[in-house]
Amino acid sequence: MTSQVILSTSGATKRFGGVTAVNNVDFSINRGEVVGILGPNGAGKSSFFNLLAGAIQPDSGTITFLDEDVTSAQSHDMCAKGLARTFQIVRPLKGLTVLENVMVGAFAKTRSVREAKEIATSAIELVGLAGWESVVSSNLTLGYRKRLEVARALATKPEILLLDEVMSGLNPAELDSFIEMLRSVNKDGVTLIVVEHIVSAVVQISTRIVVIVQGSTIANGTPSEVVNNKLVIDAYLGELDYEVS
Amino acid sequence: MNNSNNSTKDIGNTFSTAKKQVLIWGTAVGIVLILAFISSKQSYFIGHMIIMTLIWAALASAWNIVGGIAGQLSLGHMGFFGIGAYTSTILYTKSGISPWLGLLVGIILGGLIGLLIGIPTFRLEGSYYSLATLALGLSLYQLSYKFSGVTGGATGIPIPFEASLKNMTFSALWQYAILAGGYLIIVLAICAYISATKLGFQLAAVREDAQAAQAIGVNSMRAKLIAGTISGGLAAGVGTIYAQYILFIEPHSALGVNIAIQAVVLSVVGGIGYVYGPTLGALVLIPISQIILKNFGGSAPSLHILIYGAVVILVALLAPKGFLGIIRQISSRISKRSKAEKND
């Protein structure tokens, strides 16, 4: 795939009262990339993420998606254009079954119930939830709820998928298969942005990593560049021995 | 826990086939015809009870579209009911316009008000919609006293008894049973259609978590507005039918807050959010309240309200999904058991 910019921000800024959560961020991601966004707690990762997803709108700066200005687009508009997201705290539609949850996502691109069911079924298979279709989602374990979030987002047939701490809280076995699943999603042509606390997971899956501290990007490069960056170590990683596998 | 290795695609049967549809609606028409037949043969009391049950079932089902399926608690459906009752009655008694046309005008007006009240309030999460609808209903109640030149104020409007199809006025109870039952079937068919299509899935998503629904492409504002419009319009239609049956309307019976409460209670008791929940609620509660009213109306005039309250508390505590929720639970348990036996 050609390296073509799919989503970018220019000077994106968001303030909440006196706090500047996102400060003048220039960011861009090419089609097919997997970009990890790292940063300590309260760094503005989630705010930046919400800006991209259209859940909140920037005070200044612009956001461009597929060569279109989407600065003031709402989240359901962004979804229709091909950007899907998951939530940091999983939000299954509790009273609905797994299949129904994912079908709601599928309806973003179709009116037909039958087609929505087909799209949903294949998304459910892709994330490894096959066999759980008729289970009410409030009965799922955390790991499975996270998979459900991804399936629901995938069913909207996104060009780009934003994952907000989708791997935190998983046990090591779950984590490995989750990373495997995300790789196959990416291989299917979906560009990924991964906001994450788990440095090792981000390093494993990302082709590029951006580090945000106090609302600004302080590093942007390949995983090994970023992990060895002096600024990043000081601000975030601390004086630990990080080995890049 | 559910058996994850059970890979049989048994999910398909939750979606009705065309044959099943014909069966369901054929049965519904059959039931209404039987009820109409009963009301022509039995005492006036039984006939009246049947018609009131059908009318309340239709109102509660209309409420259920916005209150149950979309999860937006309206406390002001007496407003829509009253809009329908007063619109057709005023048009008929003042200008001689057929109540059938009045029914349509009322439905359009009710839908329009349902849309307008949703525009400012659906933007906000929480109880704003509930309060705004309650305010709408209560102010219409007050307005009906203020504009007594049009509404007849506290004395109300009597509707002349000139029995004919064109006047939507009938001399036999079974004819009203068919009118109210037919309208109920239309309301239920609309509910069933909504539930089975994209809009129904989107409304269920909005009910569970509006923000999460937005993120997967649901325009929750639009979905809620559609639900509010349809619900308001259909509730207004019930008002017209009620007025033509009783042949007299006044503020309390057409715009009283008890109407909205009744709609909520029937839905909650029968099974809120389910297509047939409110109808089931009406089938159980309306006959009970009518029988109590008949037997103890003189000696204990508010006894039926007391018993209503007790039933609501019991249902809320023991079966939060209503009677239909219990039935579903039992039937799914039975089908699971039979499936497990088959697998052994």
Residues belonging to chain B: 344
Q: Closest chain B residue to A153 measured between Cα atoms? A: B216
What is the spatial distance between Cα B253 and Cα B256, in angstroms, rounded to a whole number?
6
Mutate to test the interface with B, among A52, A107, A121 (most CBs of B within 10 A): A107
Strand order in the sheet with A68-69: A19-30, A5-16, A60-65, A68-69
Which residue of A100, A108, A131 is in closest CB contact with B7? A131
Report the b/e string of B106-117 with b at 16+ CB within 10 A: bbebbbebbbeb
A115 and chain B: CB distance < 8 Å anywhere? Answer: no
- In a 3-state reduction of DSSP, which class is residue B278? helix
Q: What is the pTM of this model?
A: 0.84
Strand order in the sheet with A160-164: A83-85, A160-164, A191-195, A34-38, A208-213, A216-221
Q: Which residues in chain A have their CB less than 8 angstroms from residue B7's CB?
A: 130-131
Neighbours of B170 (CB within 10 A): 18
Q: Which of B11, B8, B235 is nearest to B113 (CA)?
A: B235
C-beta of residue A164 within 8 angstroms of C-beta of residue B212: no
Q: Which residues in chain B have their CB less than 8 angstroms from residue A103's CB?
A: 201
**pLDDT confidence of A245, banded at 50, 70, 90?**
very low
What is the spatial distance between Cα B1 and Cα A238, in angstroms, rounded to a whole number?
44
**pLDDT confidence of A237, banded at 50, 70, 90?**
low
Model confidence at B344: pLDDT above 70: no
- In a 3-state reduction of DSSP, which class is residue B309? helix
**pLDDT confidence of B294, banded at 50, 70, 90?**
confident
Mutate to test the interface with A, among B123, B195, B216, B220 (most CBs of A within 10 A): B216
Model confidence at B59: pLDDT above 90: yes
pLDDT, tens digit (0-9, with 9 covering 90-100), for B8-45: 333 344 445 778 888 888 888 988 888 888 888 888 89
C-beta of residue A149 within 8 angstroms of C-beta of residue A87: yes
Number of Cβ pairs < 8 A linking chain A and chain B = 97
Contact B201 A155 (CB under 8 A): no
| Residues pairing with A194 in the sheet | A36, A163
Q: Which residues in chain A have their CB less than 8 angstroms from residue B212's CB?
A: 87, 91-93
Q: Which of A169, A232, A164, A225 is nearest to A192 (CA)?
A: A164
Contact B205 A104 (CB under 8 A): yes
pLDDT, tens digit (0-9, with 9 covering 90-100), for B257-281: 999 999 999 999 999 989 999 999 9
Instruction: Give the pLDDT of residue B13.
Output: 43
Contact B204 A113 (CB under 8 A): no
What is the spatial distance between Cα B207 and Cα B201, in angstroms, rounded to a whole number?
10
Q: Which residues in chain A have their CB less than 8 angstroms from residue B216's CB?
A: 79, 84, 104-105, 108, 152-153, 155-156
Tokens standing for A145?
């709820």
What is the spatial distance between Cα B83 and Cα B98, in angstroms, rounded to a whole number?
16
